[in-house]
């Protein structure tokens, strides 16, 4: 037997031996019964659109118009943080915040870090802490940036406040700030030796733990870190659910830092790019500015690298169905997190984050998102058949709303409409009503049911069409 024949015989023997121990397993991701495996890919839905999937749906000028409409509409509850008053009465604000803490005290009992706690005593203590540790006098705002994804809360506390021992929602969380998201500080409080700042982001006001914010020396420095034009391309936008910067012994402040969907970071001008960054060269990397915090809480503009293989865009993405699907599907299966709990998203934050990748500044919650003038279509009075026809005529990527929930429309297959959303719970569309917690970004048909037995389709009351701003 020749040498080559011996090798071939040996290889065949090994293959036969290994086959005896082979284990066949079909990997399967579980889905709602109406959702096929093919539907779990963004390409399935873009293929249904054909050539139209890459049509630009809205110009950058029209997206700017949408943002201006949202900012200028009281019911959207957006904040013009760039143009807030230069001076304010800190004493009056402190007194109001202390009073608001008592006013917001829930009537039901609370559990603090899983332990049943006297509600009046707890909220009274927090209110008193605001009074005794807050600022006084006529002051100017402080301009800050988030140095990591963090939470905005209704009261200043590091505790987890729930309505039961196992409450899955921290009931005092309002929203989340992304890395480098701007925040205007107007008050402080120290509660149980933890410092908090009260202030405003563009879509809400509330309390943020001080250690998660870095204060800029000037308003100009603050603006230079985050303010971008809709047509600019000198910044990166994170267009997937999340990724981490590389671990580094030489840059502890950025080592492993998490970047989440919609995070915007300015790129370092080529003339200012150093030869070496934290003992790394720059080949096949983007070079960006990241806000970090020194020991005194001041902002330090730190240069960091973002690997070229990460899902980012230089400037905002063009608004196309294909791009919306790619961005939205990057979070498929991720955990649901009320108000940014678990470094995740709830339903309205999910929609906000997806649309942020295209330059939109959407209001915080489901009700406010339907208040942008000229964008919402009330479908609450339609029967199911008519509503299905209206939804099926929408562009995939359109946000749909029912009381307390928002979804992104994917398409209609065999007369059934499908959506993707950061959802809490639902029951299958057939069989006994059996509502199960999902707490995930999931694809569903609109015939899934709520706890009251109504389908999502029957419950939808608004369709929001951002594309309509072009016609107004």
Quick check: 13 pLDDT over 70? Answer: no
User: What pLDDT score was predicted for residue 7?
Assistant: 47
pLDDT of residue 97: 98
For residue 274, pLDDT over 80 is answered with yes
pLDDT on residue 17: 46
pLDDT score, position 26? 65
Q: Which residues of 434-451 are buried (b: 16+ CB within 10 A; e: fewer)?
A: ebeebbbbbbbbbbbbbe
Confidence of residue 27 (pLDDT cuts 50, 70, 90): confident
Residues 403-419 have pLDDT tens digits of 999 999 999 999 999 99
- Provide φ and ψ at 443, rounded to 5°: -95, 135
Residue the block writes with tokens 């420095």: 221
- Residue among 32, 1, 20, 53 at smallest CA distance from 396: 53
Residue 1 has pLDDT above 70, yes or no: no
User: Domain ranges in the chain?
Assistant: 38-58+319-471, 81-211, 231-314
C-alpha to C-alpha distances, 256 to 149, 250, 287, nearest whole angstrom = 13, 12, 16
Tokens of 267: 């790129």
pLDDT at 452 over 60: yes
Query: Which phi and psi (to 5°) does residue 227 adopt?
Result: -75, 125
Q: What is the radius of gyration, based on Cα positions, of the chain? A: 25
pLDDT higher than threshold 80 for residue 250? yes
Class of the CATH-defined domain 38-58+319-471: alpha beta
* pTM tops 0.85: yes
Rounded Cα distance, 380 and 387, in Å? 9
User: Which of these, 150, 143, 169, 164, lies nearest to 439 by C-alpha position?
Assistant: 169
């Amino acid at each position: 037997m020749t040498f080559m024949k011996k090798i071939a015989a040996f290889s065949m023997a090994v293959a036969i031996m290994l086959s005896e121990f082979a284990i066949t397993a079909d990997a399967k991701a579980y889905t709602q019964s109406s959702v096929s495996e093919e539907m779990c890919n963004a390409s399935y839905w873009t293929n249904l659109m054909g050539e139209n999937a890459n049509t630009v749906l809205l110009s950058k000028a029209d997206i700017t118009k949408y943002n201006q409409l949202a900012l200028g509409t009281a019911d959207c509850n957006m904040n013009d943080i760039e143009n807030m008053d230069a001076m304010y009465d800190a004493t009056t604000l402190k007194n109001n915040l202390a009073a608001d803490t008592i006013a917001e005290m829930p009537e039901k009992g609370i559990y603090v870090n899983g332990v049943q706690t006297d509600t009046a005593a707890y909220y009274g203590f927090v209110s008193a802490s605001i009074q005794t540790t807050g600022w006084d006098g006529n002051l100017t705002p402080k301009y800050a940036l988030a140095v990591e994804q963090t939470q905005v809360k209704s009261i200043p506390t590091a505790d987890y406040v729930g309505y039961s021992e196992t409450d899955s929602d921290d009931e005092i969380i309002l929203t989340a700030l992304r890395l480098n998201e701007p925040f205007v500080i107007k008050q402080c409080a120290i509660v149980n030796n933890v410092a908090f700042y009260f202030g405003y982001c563009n879509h809400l006001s509330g309390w943020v733990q001080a250690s998660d914010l870095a204060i800029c020396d000037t308003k100009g420095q603050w603006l230079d870190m985050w303010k971008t034009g809709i047509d600019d391309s000198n910044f990166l936008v994170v267009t997937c659910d999340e990724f981490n910067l590389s671990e580094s012994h030489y840059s502890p402040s950025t080592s492993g830092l998490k970047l989440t969907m919609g995070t915007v970071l300015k790129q370092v001008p080529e003339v200012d790019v150093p030869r070496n960054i934290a003992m790394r060269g720059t080949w096949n990397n983007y070079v960006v500015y990241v806000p970090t915090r020194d020991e005194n809480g001041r902002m330090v503009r730190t240069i960091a690298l973002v690997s070229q293989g990460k899902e980012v865009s230089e400037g905002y993405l063009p608004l196309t169905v294909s791009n919306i699907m790619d961005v939205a599907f990057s979070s498929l299966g991720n955990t649901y997190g009320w108000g940014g709990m678990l470094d995740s998203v709830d339903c309205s934050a999910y929609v906000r984050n997806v649309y942020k990748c295209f330059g939109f500044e959407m209001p915080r919650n489901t009700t406010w998102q339907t208040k942008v003038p000229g964008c919402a279509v009330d479908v609450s009075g339609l029967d199911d058949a008519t509503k299905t026809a209206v939804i099926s005529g929408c562009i995939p990527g359109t946000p749909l709303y029912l009381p307390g929930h928002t979804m992104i429309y994917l398409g209609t297959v065999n007369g059934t409409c499908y959506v993707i959303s950061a959802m809490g719970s639902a029951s299958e569309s057939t069989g006994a009503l059996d509502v199960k917690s999902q707490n995930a970004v999931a694809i569903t048909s609109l015939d899934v049911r709520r706890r009251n037995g109504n389908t999502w389709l029957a419950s939808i009351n608004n369709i929001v069409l951002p594309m309509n701003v072009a016609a107004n």
